[in-house]
């Protein structure tokens, strides 16, 4: 049975607790970006949500053994909340190629999941150290290597374009031989897979900004007035909060800081944190040593900015914001605010990011 409906999703749940509206809105925004970027669409689809501790049940319902965060089996996406953006990509690309080449299929789903794409500390090759090979492109991708496949897809999209990538996606498939894959690469990219991989290894950036509705910088934009960006809160049921009606929730907003300077976050008695978004491809030396001020993180540091929505304690909230000025560089920031269960909507009780005159 459908518990919630959005423009393109019919949502059922394995749990009785009410799901806040922020996630449903984020999933629709995710599909907007997916359709706009890759020119894909499909009829409204079923989404069945499980509790985070039901990964064994998901695996059983999807026909696997062990633990599973989600799967797409036409006509139903089955998933815990964190994996929904990933699985929606599989569902929306299914009409283009229902048997996608694993490195591209898992790579694009990971690329669109709100993750900063990083080259990672280990090579892509599942069995042994070494550079990517043609054989690696035609084999299944183990879950531990999804990030590496996402990084390869990020490079492909940056080097070519979304239309070219989708042509490659449509013309490749699971189970291709190396010879078939080589012929397809030559036809679509006018280069052999070996040449593409060598160029990737030589030219890829360490980090690529996140994509998708859950990516850093996709929250509601808060305008500046009188040197302050101020916002209240709406309801859980049909507003922008994330989480469940009967437990604490989080609210995410996005603020553009136009100039370098000193700022102060007044959380109005709430726990809060600040994340600086990566907005352009960058290498390690460009992001790792950048000074961001007291307790301000970059989404490239944690790779998964959306994790804060599902486990707020991992956000390293700090309740002493009023005692610390923030030295911020110009850029895009997400601010996360912990909201209490049952906290009524109140647009007047403003959390503020204030530009200081120091």
> Which residue among 181, 208, 235 closes a domain?
208
Looking at the fold, whether 160 and 268 belong to one and the same domain comes out as no
Give residue 318's domain range. 224-355
Structural domain contains residue 148: yes
Same domain assignment for residues 170 and 238:
no
Same domain, residue pair 25 and 167: yes
Judgement on whether residues 192 and 52 belong to the same structural domain of the protein: yes
Would 290 be classed as within a structural domain? yes
Do residues 236 and 166 both lie within one domain? no
> Residues 301, 326: one domain?
yes
What is the phi/psi pair of residue 200, to 5°? -60, -50
| Statement to judge: residues 191 and 323 lie in one domain | no
The CA–CA distances, whole Å, from 269 to 71, 265, 272, 321, 350 equal 40, 11, 9, 10, 10
Instruction: Please report whether residue 261 resides in a domain.
Output: yes
Asked whether 243 and 340 are in contact (CB, 8 A), the reply is no
Residues 177 and 322 in one domain: no
Q: How far apart are CA 90 and CA 109, in angstroms?
A: 6
Return d(Cα 48, Cα 98) in angstroms, integer.
20
Does 43 lie in the same domain as 108?
A: yes
Burial of 321 from C-beta contacts in 10 A (0-12 / 13-18 / 19+): buried
Residues 69 and 101 in one domain: yes
- From the number of C-beta atoms within 10 Å of its C-beta (0-12, 13-18, 19+), residue 125 rates as middle
Report the half-sphere exposure of 13 (CA within 13 A, side-chain side): 14
Domain count of the fold of the chain: 2
**CA-to-CA distance for 103 and 107, rounded, in angstroms?**
6
Q: Is 119 helix (H, G, I), strand (E, B) or coil?
A: coil
- Residues 252-281 as b or e (16 or more Cβ within 10 Å = b): bbbbebeeebebbbbbbebbbbbbbbbeeb
CATH of the domain at 191: 1.10.390.10
Q: What is the pTM of this model?
A: 0.92
How many CA atoms lie less than 13 Å away from 75 in the CB half-sphere?
9
Burial of 346 (0-12, 13-18, 19+ CB in 10 A): exposed
The dihedral built from the CA positions of residue 310, 213, 241 and 75, taken in this order, carries a sign that is negative
Inside any domain, residue 213: no
Residue at 214 is within a domain? no
262 in a domain, yes or no?
Answer: yes
Residues 34 and 133 in one domain: yes
83 closest CA partner among 40, 27, 42 = 27
The neighbouring-strand residues paired with 338 are: 250
Tell me if the bond preceding 319 is cis, omega within 30° of 0. Answer: no
**Do both 156 and 231 map to the same domain?**
no
Q: Which of 160, 182, 208 is the last residue of a domain?
A: 208
Kindly state whether residue 128 falls inside one of the protein's structural domains: yes
- pLDDT tens, residue order, the chain (358 aa): 899 999 999 999 999 999 999 999 999 999 999 999 999 999 999 999 999 999 999 999 999 999 999 999 999 999 999 999 999 999 999 999 999 999 999 999 999 999 899 876 544 444 444 456 777 789 888 777 788 889 999 999 999 999 999 999 999 999 999 999 999 999 999 999 999 999 999 999 999 999 999 999 999 999 999 999 999 988 899 888 998 999 878 899 999 999 999 999 998 888 888 889 999 999 988 886 555 666 687 888 765 555 555 565 554 445 455 667 888 999 999 998 888 888 888 866 689 999 998 7
Across-strand partners of 47? 11, 77
Domain boundary residue among 208, 237, 257?
208
Which ranges in the chain belong to alpha helices (H)?
21-38, 55-62, 84-93, 102-111, 134-138, 146-159, 162-171, 178-189, 193-203, 284-287, 299-302, 307-310
Residue 256 lies in a domain: yes
């Amino acid at each position: 049975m459908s518990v919630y409906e959005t423009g393109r999703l019919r949502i059922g749940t394995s749990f009785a607790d009410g799901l806040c509206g922020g996630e449903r809105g984020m999933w629709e925004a995710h599909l907007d970006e997916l359709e706009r970027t890759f020119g894909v669409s499909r009829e409204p689809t079923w989404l069945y949500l499980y509790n985070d501790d039901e990964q064994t049940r998901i695996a059983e319902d999807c026909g696997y053994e062990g633990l599973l965060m989600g799967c797409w089996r036409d006509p139903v996406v089955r998933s815990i909340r964190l994996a929904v953006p990933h699985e929606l990509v599989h569902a929306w690309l299914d009409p283009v190629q229902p048997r996608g080449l694993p490195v591209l299929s898992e790579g694009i789903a990971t690329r669109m999941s709100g993750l900063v794409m990083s080259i990672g500390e280990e090579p892509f090759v599942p069995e042994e150290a070494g550079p990517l090979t043609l054989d690696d492109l035609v084999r299944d991708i183990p879950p531990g290597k999804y990030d590496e496949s996402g990084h390869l897809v990020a490079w492909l999209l940056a080097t070519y374009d979304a239309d070219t990538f989708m042509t490659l996606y449509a013309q490749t498939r699971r189970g291709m031989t190396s010879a078939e894959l080589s012929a397809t690469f030559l036809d679509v990219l006018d280069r052999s897979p070996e040449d593409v991989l060598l160029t990737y290894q030589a030219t890829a950036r360490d980090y690529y900004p996140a994509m998708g509705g859950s990516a850093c910088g996709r929250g509601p934009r808060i305008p500046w007035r009188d040197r302050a960006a101020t916002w209240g809160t709406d309801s859980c049921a049909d507003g922008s909060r994330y989480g469940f009606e009967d437990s604490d929730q989080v609210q995410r907003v996005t603020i553009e800081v136009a100039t370098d300077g000193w700022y102060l976050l007044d959380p109005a008695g709430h726990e809060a944190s600040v994340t600086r978004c990566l907005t352009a491809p960058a290498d390690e030396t460009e992001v790792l040593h950048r000074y961001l001020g007291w307790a301000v993180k970059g989404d490239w540091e944690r790779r998964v900015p959306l994790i804060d929505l599902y486990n707020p304690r991992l956000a390293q909230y700090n309740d002493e914001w009023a005692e610390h000025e923030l030295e911020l560089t110009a850029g895009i920031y997400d601010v996360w605010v912990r909201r209490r269960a049952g906290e009524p909507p109140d647009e007047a009780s403003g959390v503020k990011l204030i530009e200081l005159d120091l």
